[in-house]
Chain A
Amino acid sequence: MGFQPNEGAEELAVARRLWKLGAMPVDTSRLDAALREKLPARRRMGRRWGVAVAGIAAMLLIVAMVGMGLLQGRTVEASPAMMAQWHEEIVSGRVPMMRVTSVRELNAQMAALAKEGKMLPEVPMGHSMACCMRSVGDKQVACVLLEDEGKPVTMAVADASEVKSPASGVTMRDGVAYHVEKVGVLNMVMTEKGGRWVCLIGEVPAERLMGIAAGVRF
């Protein structure tokens, strides 16, 4: 918020309440459709996304089946395509998000939604946070929308005993294993920290995402 520290508490309360409006869900589907009619398609990436999106429906179905029946209570492997889909849904406003002004408030909101208590970390960025809770079958995943140099980054956090990264594509950095993926224009890194599975997604270089993940403190 562009609020000055010397301004009154009552004004600050109004500013905080207005800040939360910034995460009010809006349905962009009609806007998207109208723009796609009038603007050229993203040729190269569009094809990639076409492939990715085509795979996402099947992947979601598989994951849902995994969560609901076949592997109930067991560890679920995170799907890069599904995480990319979540990021797209969150960024485009199709998922209701709660905007928060501090990590403390973020944790309070998430604790109210989650089965368990606090699960979100201190994030090395101090602004523009909104959160929601999503699930893969019976596994809960907390999602936080952050902003990194003006670009949206989704951070997903789950219990590491419930959600795992795929075993392949592992990169070591400062002794920490990161699973690195690319889905269309999105880069994605997954890692484990403090008993949590953490995934960061955005149109941000993977190196930078690893840097953000390294700064996460539980």
Chain B
Amino acid sequence: MGHEADVEKFYRALWPHRAAVLRTARFLCRDVNEAEDLAQEVFIKAFGAVERVSEDRPALPWLMAILRHLRIDRLRAAGAHPGVSLEAVEVEPAAREGPVGELSGYSEEEMLEALSDQAIIDALRALPEEIRWTLLLVDVHGMDHGEAAEIEGVPEGTIKSRAHRGRRMMRELLSGVAKERVAM
């Protein structure tokens, strides 16, 4: 494929996903500039490998895989450990805290709706990196467990377990936020 065809393919298949990539980077990084820098690197890297893009398949999972690898590289360069063992995440928040909605008589869904996007993002950012990634892929982007497993390089069962734990951890974190709201 010629250079011009590659450029055209990039703009046709990948360019429309920049909002999704940037949004995901924003959920990963607290700093807006860092998120934009990360998203930019994703597209530059993707452009360099655009011949590998099959237009018969959704491009977003491929971009997410690039984003994840770049993020891990950055965390490693900064001395952070990007992974987390499931054994390290022994949280059983639901049993201790009760549903978010029990605090006010509202349903769980109503209470979650009442919380701001920023509160949800803050809770998401507080999760261990790999669990956060699972929720980003499965819940935010609506990917199936198989797609998420491929991106994260783990078995589907691990994704299911991480999704389950991640949601429960989110509930614990958001219960705290909701409690503060009720107390105010």
Identify the A interface with B (CB < 8 A): 1-4, 7, 9-11, 13-22, 24, 26, 28, 30-32, 34-35, 38-45, 91-93, 127-128, 149-152, 185, 203
Contacts and interface: CB of A to CB of B under 8 A. Distances in A.
B164 A26 contact: no
Contact of B19 (A3, A4, A35, A93): A93
Contact of B22 (A93, A128, A185): A93
A108 to B, nearest CB: 12
B36 A2 contact: no
A-B residue pairs, 8 tightest by C-beta: A150-B58, A93-B19, A18-B139, A2-B138, A17-B112, A13-B108, A14-B167, A13-B109
Contacts of B11: 42, 45, 185
A149 B55 CA distance: 10
Given A21-B27, A43-B7, A150 B112 contact: no
A52 to B, nearest CB: 14
B97 to A, nearest CB: 11
15 contacts: A2-B139, A4-B160, A10-B100, A10-B171, A13-B100, A14-B139, A19-B139, A22-B20, A31-B43, A34-B36, A35-B18, A40-B3, A44-B4, A150-B58, A150-B60
B139 A3 contact: yes
Tell me whether chain B's interface is mostly helix, strand or loop, or mixed.
Answer: helix
Interface stretch (B68-76, B82-90, B140-148, B176-184): B140-148
Contacts of B22: 26, 28, 31, 93
Given A16-B109, A45-B11, A26 B19 contact: yes
A203 B40 contact: no
Given A18-B120, A149-B58, A32 B143 contact: no
Contact of B140 (A21, A28, A42): A21
A18 B140 contact: yes
Contacts of B109: 13, 16-17
B108 A39 contact: no
